[in-house]
Amino acid sequence: MTAGLPDRATLIILRTVPNTLVECVPNFSEGRDASKVDSIVEAMKVPGVYLLDREMDADHNRCVITLAGEREAIQEAAIRGAGKAAELIDLTRHQGAHPRMGAADVIPFIPIEGVTLEDCVAMARHVGAEMWKRFQLPVYLYEAAATTPERQNLENIRRGQFEGIRDEIAINPARKPDFGEPCVHPTAGVTAVGARRPLIAYNVYLNTPDVAIAKKIAKAVRFSSGGLRYVKGAGFLVRGMAQVSMNLTDFEQTPIHRVFEFVKREAQRYGVAPVSSEIVGLIPKLALEQAAEWFLQVENFDSSLILENRLAAVMSGKVTVGGLSAGIAPFIEQLAAPTATPGGGSAAAAAGAMAAGLASMVASMSRGKKAYLQYESQLSEAVARITPLREQLTSAIDADAESYKEVMKAYRAAKEAKEPGEGSRAITAALQQATSVPLGVAERAAEVARIANQLKPITNPNMNSDLITAIALAGAALEGALANVTINLNSINPASINLFSSEDGAFVSETQKRVALLKEQA
């Protein structure tokens, strides 16, 4: 929740996409001294990491940096950035409208390509441990990486801000950090490191300077006080205007257009109106597509109708012009080749992606038709839920093959190691990744099957065969992915891995619970 100033600088454009792509959006408690921000950005220049966006806000005294890169490189960039911020920013002298608790206030990791949310959780834990080890910065894990339910919500961790945490951290057990001793860094405070899905920082400006109105609207819109799900909100006075500042933590469930309309209606109660809105940082293309569909009321809208989307799909080989079989044939040939990858895990992901594609097609073709107008909102919601599932399952085709290669690489490195036990940690990490990818496939395939079943009574019955096919494909994806999970999970045990920590045991236990739940649901 940060207001942006007109000094946005997109410095590097991605020309190629790595096998694994992670977004990281660190927020630093400095929005007035450009030289300090320059130094922090410079510290984060690591090969394989790209600077996508940089924003500073003097009123909030905060900056938001958007990075994207390969999973190993972006972790190092975040660690270095936090260290440089601790060196330059003194919270005992810091004042600004935005709540803060650390020089590097929050560092979230977001999965983009070839990685899962679970992978980002592991990344957050690694970064947290390294920040304490290198710079003595206490770290709390939040959102998906949280170690307790109370810490999933960042507001709970940040309560009291720097000064409040400083006074309580040593005497209140609930304030004990996940990494580090129970004491704040004298000038850099503490940091929250987490994993989450893409978030939209969205602000609406009102035609009044009365910040009390913005605060009332924020209270009405945020979920914690009875408003919209997946919305956090607060009211501020920025540049002489009342601002409703919001974070949309799941824009697919609560889309940005719905939030804007809600704020607009609430504002009318107080005799005011929005004059503008702004995006802080970057926004997923899908969110804008949803807004365009909503406000333009385009009949039978689908993202493939967008010229750039179709062009990108054709150029990447996902859509072909010379016949349907031309697109799938190379993948089938690779499956048939006498090589370990791609294998059953990739095939399971492909089956899940096809299931999602069929379900989306059925929902889209019924949506907008007179006979199904009563189900319009349900069909739109189904399409919104299926689209990211299809994209994630498609990404998992390559991610599964890559995870297997990493396991083989780790085993080879261990054989060449000079010291006994050297390389065991890398084997464990690679096996956990190779387990997490098919587990994510299984969970997404189960969700696709549920959505396809829900579509049966509200879509054209002539397309029932398509839904039956989708459900069968999703079932095959679920069963195949779980088989891969089991094989890899059995390799993570004290007998096969020399270094078996409590964290490894927790990973095995948590994975087994999720597998059991999937089997029960199936």
Residues taking part in catalysis: 98
Task: Assess contact for 183 and 170: CB atoms under 8 A.
Answer: yes
Please, are residues 467 and 359 in contact by the beta-carbon 8 Å criterion? Answer: yes
Contact between 377 and 454 (Cβ < 8 Å): no
Cβ pair 18, 48 in contact under 8 A = yes
Give the integer Cα–Cα distance in Å for 207 and 215. 14
CA distances (Å), 278 to each of 5, 198, 311, 328, 445, in order? 10, 17, 29, 41, 35
- Residue pair 56/127 in contact (Cβ under 8 Å)? The answer is no
Place of tokens 């190092």: 76
Asked whether 203 and 243 are in contact (CB, 8 A), the reply is yes
88 half-sphere exposure, CB direction, 13 A CA radius: 23
- From residue 274, alpha-carbon distances to 16, 251, 258, 260, 393 in Å are 39, 20, 14, 9, 39
Which residues is 308 bridged to in the sheet?
none
Q: Residue 352: left if φ>0, alpha if ψ -120 to 50, beta else—which one?
A: alpha
Tokens of 212: 């009390």
Residue 126: name the closest of 387, 134, 240, 112 by CA: 134
CA distance 225 to 419: 57
The answer to whether 110 and 120 have CB atoms below 8 angstroms apart is yes
Residues whose CB falls within 8 Å of the CB of residue 392, separated by 6 or more in sequence, listed in order:
440, 444
- Angle among Cα 245, 26, 211 to the nearest 5 degrees reads 15
Q: Check if the beta carbon of residue 134 is closer than 8 Å to that of residue 177.
A: no
DSSP state, residue 102:
B
Phi/psi at 195 (nearest 5 deg)? -135, 135
Helix, coil or strand: residue 514: helix
- The H or E element containing residue 202 is strand 200-206
d(CA 158, CA 181): 17
Q: Is 29:89 a contact under the CB 8 Å cutoff?
A: yes
Contact 521, 442 (CB under 8 A): no
Cα of 241 vs its chain's centroid, Å: 31
